[in-house]
Structure 1
Amino acid sequence: MLKAVTFFLALFLTAGFTSAAPSELLKNLPALTDSVEEETVIDTTISSDDDDWWKMDKKKKDKKVVIKKKNKKDNNQTEDEWVEWDWDEDWDVDFNVWNSDDNPTISVMYGQGGFKQSYLSDMPFGELRLGYGGTTVYKRKDFLTNYDASYLTYSIQSATFGEKKDAALVESKLTRFGMGWDEGYGYNLGGNASLNLYNTFGIGWSKLELVDSVANPVDYNYLSDYRDAYRFGIRGEAGISLSPIPNLSFNAGYERAIVYPRVLFWKTAGSLLTESVAGWAVEEFVDRILHNSPAVAPVMNFILRSALIYGAYELRRDESNFPFNGVEPVAHDTFKFGISFIF
């Protein structure tokens, strides 16, 4: 969860900083480049007798820079060391958000969803997930497992999957696409079987379509921000995954999600950052449990992370950007079960 929240915040803040960056900064880039070249010329005139000096020579290939450094390895030896810096290779940071080193997975989920807004009808739910995931034996204790998955998701909550139960309620259709990250621990049952307890953080864009008309003008105006447009939202899930064999797992989970009528950048980022700090505290606490009492760690991790998801959801049901002021979002809960194929 912490990795997912941090990744999303990084993209979110980067996008905001880029959009807010003054154009003068870009205009000054050539001047900055010229000043570096001038300093390079000055540096080449420094005597090699100085203790701290460096100089840069630009090769014919623009992507490579040669740095000449003078390092003292010990009190009796001083050498000049030439280092070749390849921009493409040395800045190739391995930030494997999608866990692509794991096995490809396909998951199909089905369930029942309901809205906080009581005038909206509960409806069946269907979801398809494509991504990467896997279960590995925990490095310190072989009776424990480490479970993680990352995926793209597409879901529909609609009466199409079942019959409408209450004619007095407004029937709707909720379509969502997005991304999700599962993390958790479990137990090695032997013979390649495992039982994993996981929690999910996900982001997505949802579109709410009303099949029936809304009689109440207040409710009608409230839903006008959602109709026929995709809106950003977040979700959390607590679930259990049983894998009798490595290539198959049966899953059951309970999801809580909110959809923002609009995104207030700094408030939304601050709210998610607050949750990530709480998630970091839980992660550190669970690490101590893993060290001292590993047998109960999967259960305690599941309970604490689920409590965090539940608490964050409850606080955002009325204030979407809690602890900052915000509007009331569309909130919905879903109980679902499904099957995953691991390749």
Structure 2
Amino acid sequence: MRTPTVEISYGFPSAGIKDTDTSPVMPGRLEVSLGLDRQLKTEYGSNILDYAQPNLFIGYFRDAGAKTDRGEVSASLWRFGLGAKDGFSYRIGDNLLTLSCNSAWVWSRLSLKETPSDSASRIRLARFDGRVKYGTVTEAGITYQFGSSFGVGVGFERALVYPNYVFLEVVGSSALQFAAHQAAGYVVKAIFSANPTLGPIAHFILKNGLNIGLYELRRSNVNWPFRSARPLFLDSATLTVTIFL
């Protein structure tokens, strides 16, 4: 059975392009997501549930106005996307503690409010300014659900906005990520068999650890391992409230 959800999140983003002197400043991010939660019983006991949630979302990163320092330019950004969350939940009485690994395809439009003073930053940021660009999002999330009504959560999100879309390189890079996650899945399954209580934690650490490692590689080459351009990155600590309908 799936439960419709409405999630509202607020984030505290930092943005930039690796080895670029000027960074866009967007001090706040508001996002709304519509999803379908699924919690399934597992073979590991009644207190451990298999969690998944497909979702649609739209978000806005607000600009900093005139409050920028040297090496910064005020900017705003709209984005929308398709996401999926997966992980495991611990049942605690009538409540649930969910540890998840979240990923999404996203389309973003950056709007610079100022012009960078140095030419290198100006050229690199111009590739994103005023254009809708494809990108990806990964997030490690922890949510505590109170009964069947609402939940609160925290997360750390890392997003990449691609300067251009090269189909074969994107497919190749994504295939490597998929293979790495499949391998991690076998390790997680072995840990579940040995100690079911540690399984959800192992899944959370291994799957999100893989995403973080790949993110760092892609900050230099967006379609790693292929030699490719540097993306715009957006890192955000997030706070969320989820309403279960």
Give the TM bin, normalised by the shorter chain: over 0.9
The equivalent of 2:44 in structure 1 is 140
User: Any idea what the Cα deviations from partners look like across 1:197-256, whole Å, max 9, x if unmatched?
Assistant: 001111110011001121111111112221111100011100101012122111111000
| 8 Å CA contact retained: 1:123, 1:164 | no
1:334 aligns to 2:236 (yes or no): yes
Shift of 1:122: 4.2
Confirm whether residue 106 of structure 1 aligns to residue 6 of structure 2. yes
CA RMSD, 1 decimal: 1.5
Greater Rg by CA: 1
- In 1, Cα distance between the equivalents of 2:67 and 2:12? 12
Q: Which amino acid aligns with 2:185?
A: E
Question: In percent, how many aligned pairs have the same letter?
Answer: 26
Q: CA deviation at 1:135?
A: 2.9
TM-score (normalizing by structure 1): 0.67
Q: Distance in 2 between matches of 1:102 and 1:300?
A: 25
Match of 1:42 in 2: none
Q: 2:100–2:204: 8 Å Cα contact kept in structure 1?
A: yes
User: In structure 2, what is the Cα distance between the partners aligned to 1:115 and 1:133?
Assistant: 30
Greater percentage in helix? 1
The answer on whether the counterparts of 2:44 and 2:196 sit within 8 Å (CA) in structure 1 is: no
Aligned to 1:156: 60
Deviation, 1:284, is 1.6
Match of 1:115 in 2: 15
Please point out which of 230, 254, 273 is paired with 2:156.
254
Q: So what's the TM-score if we normalise by structure 2?
A: 0.93
Cα drift, residue 165 of structure 1: 4.6
Among 114, 139, 143, the residue aligned to 1:212: 114
Counterparts of 1:263-278 in structure 2, within 5 Å, are: 263-278=165-180
Question: Could you tell me how far apart the structure 2 residues matched to 1:241 and 1:146 are?
Answer: 14
Any conservation in 1 of the 2:101–2:204 contact (CA below 8 Å)?
yes
Q: Tell me, yes or no, if structure 1 residue 131 matches structure 2 residue 54.
A: no
Structure 1 residue runs of 4 or more that deviate by more than 4 Å after TM superposition: 162-165
8 Å CA contact 2:65–2:74 kept in 1: the answer is no
Shift in CA distance, 315/139, structure 1 to aligned 2, threshold 3 Å: same
**Which structure 2 residue ranges, 5 or more long, are not aligned?**
none
| 1:245 matched to 2:153 | no
8 A contact 2:75–2:113 mirrored in 1: yes
Aligned partner of residue 212 in structure 2, secondary structure: helix
Higher normalized contact order (CA 8 Å, seq sep 6+, divided by chain length): 2
Q: Could you list the runs of 5+ residues in structure 1 that have no partner in the other structure?
A: 1-100
2:46 aligned counterpart, secondary structure: coil
Change (3 A) 1:225 1:163: closer
Q: How far is 1:120 from its partner?
A: 1.9
- Opposite residue 261 of structure 1, the aligned amino acid is P
> Which residue of structure 1 aligns with residue 192 of structure 2?
290
Between 131-140 and 323-332, the greater mean CA deviation after superposition: 131-140
